[in-house]
Structure 1
């Protein structure tokens, strides 16, 4: 079970600071505690409850063996998301969202395979037989693909869920996931509509400390889910081993009994 986040820790990270009151989305009203100096303050008790709910669901998705794709292209979130997603062994997009990333996933996979083909050519020596101009073109293509798609190289099928920082900025990713009925988890600030996602975590999606607090908690839950999956696999393997060993033991016992007679 994912850990319960402490409200004081959320407060210290500035998770409660929303946007200016004139920029609010009325659908965020249930998650707003008050208004102070023209800024909406988020109810952190509700944030903690929603964060725990989302973390438990993400842990289960990870335990099932499906991938969770993190999406955050805003400057203050990029590095944090890349680090935490890597720790949780999950794919992420922190550069420009490639249109059709989900709805045209086959084409995206072809682009990833091009990158892998260049790597294989370098390993088996075919790359060295190319002209300098061709090598330069190949390297440029490889670098461009690595920048945009290198972080999803191991994602061989559509993800089991999306985790988004700032649903207004990542609206294209949201629409694609909605079209394919992929569950969406997100940090939702007071200027956004929480109805667009399945698991909304009301929180400040602009400050790096707030983003790090939420993302690290989510990553912890995913790591926990992966650990449960690994433990389950090991237990299953041991069970199969024991099951296979039983007939052999029974046979050996029968042989020993025959010899005694």
Structure 2
């Protein structure tokens, strides 16, 4: 990464818009409902233009961050600690908060945040679709424009090296987007958004994993009943052999939570 980064790894953790920010296994967590999160993000979209990053925390993020995965000298953990909003994406986080914090934390998953913002703001919202395989972002953008009426600020696939980060960040900046959906996989997408936040200068930047594939129709959203119960990850892992490598991480997460609970 170049010296254009503005984030100092030693800088304080980002101030949360939520008064009751929690800490779960060393990482921040904002106990907001989906509607509350959408209200916060909407305020950032319509207020004075300044960059904000959003992380949708799930068990895999916690396991990966403990494996010290990094890009250059900026780690996944640092990116999450500096995020302006950190929501509970999966039922695993809800369970861990119940076990370790004795708190009931609502879920605000990445797909629901993305689609909710586009549905709420429609033609007033300009979105940059960044990530996935070549061609996917274009289809996702077209379908999102048709479904939600949003304006497409730009598209770019996620298959570029870190040496090209500044070029892509400047492309996003020049697009004037209000919302950046970054789908480059856990750690890579969060580090990109946070490391280049001042260059990107997008009011809402969110790592969204497979959301672009869902919007494009190249991946399917889990059935409604699994989403209501918060167990859509089981449906995904069981139905896609490519995701079977996620099962050990989920088992490691459960073991980690129970170990921490025994420590008191």
> TM-score, with normalisation over the residues of structure 1?
0.33
* Higher-Rg member (1/2): 1
Structure possessing the higher relative contact order (Cα contacts under 8 Å, 6 or more residues apart): 1
> TM-score, with normalisation over the residues of structure 2?
0.33
